[in-house]
Structure formats: C-alpha cells, structure tokens
Amino acid sequence: MSLVSKAAVLDGIEGQFHIREYEVPEPKQGEFILRTEYAGVCGTDVHMYYGHLNTVEYPIVMGHEFCGKIEKLGSVDIVDSNGQQVKEGDRVVIVPGVSCGECYYCKIAKTPTRCSHVQAYGFLPNREPHLLSGGFSQYVHIKYENTSFFKTELEPHIAVLTEPLSICVHGFQRAGGVRFGSTVLVQGTGAIGLGAIAFAKRSGAAKVIAVGGPKRRLELAKQLGADVVIDIDDVKDPQERIKLVKSETKGGRGPDMVVECAGFPGAVPEGLSYLRDSAEYIELGHFTDVGGVEINPHWHILRNNANIRGVWGSDVEHMEMTLSIIEQLELPYDQLVTHKLPLNRIGDAIQAMSKKGYSLDGKEEVIKIAIDPWQALANQ
Ligand SMILES: [Zn+2]
Ligand SMILES: [Zn+2]
C-alpha cells in the first residue's frame, strides 16, 4: 500500500498554509523517503512568507531545517556523507542545499553555496518535479543527485538544529576562527545567535558578550556561554549600547570579533561601531533582503581597518562540523527548541517570530519552533 503524506503548502506571499495530501512516490535507485520528525521554523521561512527572498516561487512547501528517519530506501547500497552505510529506520539530518559539483563555483571557486544550479529542499516550488521537497511535510522525497546527509544518534529535537547552527560555524571559519583569549560579541539571540555564543566560547574566546533579547533568550545565552548580556529593551539607545560594550572590553577598545545574527539592518552600523581596530565583523543575519541602512565608510570601515566577512548559508562541511560539535552534548542545546507545533500552526509560528515579539498564544516566549508533522492538527 502506498503512503500518503500531509504537507503544509503556502499559496503565496503573506498567503495561507493549506494542509494537502500527496501520494508518496517509490524511491528510485540512490533515493530515499524520509519520515520527517521535526522541521525547524527559521527566520528565513518568515522572510519567505513575506516575500523577501526573490528566488522563491509559490506555492511552496517550506522547511529546510529537518531531520527524520529513513522510511524506504530506493537501493540497498546508500551511504551518508561520512561514508556510513544507512538502513531503513536510521535517523538522518539532510543538508538542504544541493550543489551540482560541476559549475565554476563548485569546481574552481570551491564555494558550492553559490552553485549556479543549486537546488534546495524547502526552497522549491511545490509542483512536479519538486513535490514533497520541503520539511513541513510528513514525508520528504530525498532525490536530488549530490544530496548530502548525515546519520546521527542525536535526539531529533537537537538534530534539527544542525542546519541553523551550521551558519555560525561557516561564519567563524570565514573569519579564520576564534582567537584564544579574545572577546567575541554576538548581536542577536535567536537560535543562530545562541549557537554563535556557544561555539565562540567552546572555541577559546575568553569573554563572550551577547546583545539581544528578550529575557528568556538572554538567560539561555548565559547558559550557553555568554559572560555578559545586554538587553536591548533595557538599553534602547544604540549609542548607549556602544559605550556599554566598549566598557566591557580591555582598554575600552571593543571586541575582537562581532557576529551579526540579528538580521535587522540597523544592527550593522551599530556592530561595526563596537569593533576594536583591525577586528573581524561577521555578517550572517541578513540571509534575505530586509532593506538597506546608511553606513559611513570613513568611520565604520576605514578608520577601524574593519575586516568584514559576508556569510551566505552553509555547506556540507559546516553541517558535518556542527553535527560533530552538538553530538558531544556539552551544552544545553536541547533548550533551544521551545515549541513543537503541528503542521497547521506554521502560520502562528511565523506570526510569533515576526509581528508578535517572539510570543506564542500571547504568553510563551519562543526561541526555536519545530514543526512535528505527525502531531494532531490543532482545532482552528
Ligand atoms: Zn534556516
Ligand atoms: Zn555547481
């Protein structure tokens, strides 16, 4: 008997999510069917909902941060990207971006995130040949050639964090890593910012400063390694925050590295103003286009000798590194997913993360929402 999959289909920009059912195809040679356990709702999904990513076509089944168990293999000889044989029932994490391995970016520049023919689970229009290609669905058809994935023993509510946290790893790698004994400041305390805090501390930073909010996120920031937290609700004036940040660094010079994970344009000139001379600024919060901001090149960049690193998404190696770190379970990553919701509450998740100030149902503070496509649909 063939399987049927419920999926949440977004019909357009600021549209509706419809729960539709699709027949699950038989996987061909080299393919498999994944039974989704969790799919994270990402800031990027929020921006895709509002139409801030110009490559997206609707209708779409989003969900690029997902993990699950292999339901059905198309052939017996399938290995994960670490070369481990997989079998039905194994838990795996899928790398959403699939690069071609052949184009200029893949072969010569070796920046596969910019692949000319990139395909990505959770970003493709929901029509043939891309049906069941996003994580907001009970089953995902893992079928694109060169798809990378990793087998893991992690609990699914932690495994689902691999993709968002891999963005931080990519950022640190572009800046040449965290220097031992340095001061790292992270702007933004969403899931990616919290990951950057944890990884900065684990990489040898002596002091980690977090600028963000609200309160619950800052509490978790401390548990994950932040030595100082600055609540933007308490210190509303950016100039005041710049002074405060400087005062937290040796000689008042400013942090050695600032990682922008807030995704608000105004965070960029503010973050550049925190920096000490010749320090690193890692920009990874603006995956989508939320508008511009005025920068003063003299003060923000030249006078500081600022090293600015742009970071677009992440690649297979970053996912592998991230999974290896979180599999050690040294830090409370399990607290990042605060809510698990059914498919028909994705719209509520998006509202919580955009218009409702990270509160769900008028009260609870959200850090990361994971969709469990097997949870009974909510009455609406
Ligand atoms: Zn994401
Ligand atoms: Zn390519």
| Domain extents in the chain | 4-161+336-371, 168-310
Whether the CB-CB separation of 164 and 42 falls below 8 Å is answered with yes
Q: For the segment 239-254, what is each residue's pLDDT rounded down to a tens digit?
A: 999 999 999 999 999 9
**Integer Cα distance of 241 and 238 in angstroms:** 5
Q: List, in sequence order, every residue forming a beta bridge with 39; answer none if it has no partner.
A: 66, 371
Q: Averaged over 46-59, what is the pLDDT?
A: 92
Q: For the segment 152-163, what is each residue's pLDDT rounded down to a tens digit?
A: 999 999 999 999
Q: For the segment 188-213, what is each residue's pLDDT rounded down to a tens digit?
A: 999 999 999 999 999 999 999 999 99
pLDDT grade, residue 356 (50/70/90)?
A: confident
Q: Averaged over 258-266, what is the pLDDT?
A: 94
Judged against a pLDDT cut of 70, whether residue 67 lies above it is answered with: yes
Q: For the segment 165-181, what is each residue's pLDDT rounded down to a tens digit?
A: 999 999 999 999 999 99
- The domain 168-310 is classified under which CATH number: 3.10.20.30, 3.50.50.60, 3.40.50.720, 1.10.1530.10? 3.40.50.720
Q: List, in sequence order, every residue forming a beta bridge with 151; answer none if it has no partner.
A: 92
| Ligand 1 midpoint to CA 99 (Å) | 17
| Ligand 1 midpoint to CA 194 (Å) | 14
| Ligand 1 midpoint to CA 297 (Å) | 30
Return the closest-CA partner of residue 41 out of 340, 314, 312.
Answer: 340
Judged against a pLDDT cut of 90, whether residue 2 lies above it is answered with: no
Amino acid, single-letter form, for residue 123: F
| Ligand 2 midpoint to CA 253 (Å) | 42
- Per-residue model confidence (pLDDT) at position 126: 95
Question: Token pair for residue 112?
Answer: 């596969």
Judged against a pLDDT cut of 80, whether residue 129 lies above it is answered with: yes
Q: How many helices (H) and strands (E) does the chain have?
A: 10, 19
Judged against a pLDDT cut of 90, whether residue 290 lies above it is answered with: no
Which listed ligand is nearest to 191 at the C-alpha?
A: 1
Which listed ligand is nearest to 114 at the C-alpha?
A: 2
Judged against a pLDDT cut of 90, whether residue 134 lies above it is answered with: yes
Judged against a pLDDT cut of 90, whether residue 54 lies above it is answered with: no
Which listed ligand is nearest to 164 at the C-alpha?
A: 1
Which listed ligand is nearest to 161 at the C-alpha?
A: 1
- Per-residue model confidence (pLDDT) at position 1: 65
Question: How would you class 211 by CB atoms within 10 Å of its CB: exposed for 0-12, middle for 13-18, buried for 19 or more?
Answer: buried
pLDDT grade, residue 362 (50/70/90)?
A: confident
| Ligand 1 midpoint to CA 218 (Å) | 21
Which listed ligand is nearest to 146 at the C-alpha?
A: 2
Judged against a pLDDT cut of 90, whether residue 125 lies above it is answered with: yes
| Ligand 2 midpoint to CA 291 (Å) | 28
Residue in the block written with tokens 């893949």: 106
Judged against a pLDDT cut of 70, whether residue 293 lies above it is answered with: yes
Question: How would you class 72 by CB atoms within 10 Å of its CB: exposed for 0-12, middle for 13-18, buried for 19 or more?
Answer: middle
- Per-residue model confidence (pLDDT) at position 273: 97
- Per-residue model confidence (pLDDT) at position 288: 79
Please give the mean pLDDT across all residues of the chain: 94
Q: Averaged over 64-87, what is the pLDDT?
A: 96
| Ligand 2 midpoint to CA 108 (Å) | 10
| Ligand 2 midpoint to CA 112 (Å) | 6
Judged against a pLDDT cut of 70, whether residue 301 lies above it is answered with: yes
- Per-residue model confidence (pLDDT) at position 343: 97
| Ligand 1 midpoint to CA 74 (Å) | 28
Judged against a pLDDT cut of 90, whether residue 363 lies above it is answered with: no
| Ligand 2 midpoint to CA 101 (Å) | 5
Number of other residues whose CB lies within 10 A of the CB of residue 212: 24
Q: Averaged over 89-95, what is the pLDDT?
A: 98
In this chain, the answer to whether the domains covering 4-161+336-371 and 168-310 adopt an identical fold is no
Domain 4-161+336-371 carries which CATH code? 3.90.180.10
H/E stretch holding 360: strand 359-360
| Ligand 1 midpoint to CA 222 (Å) | 23
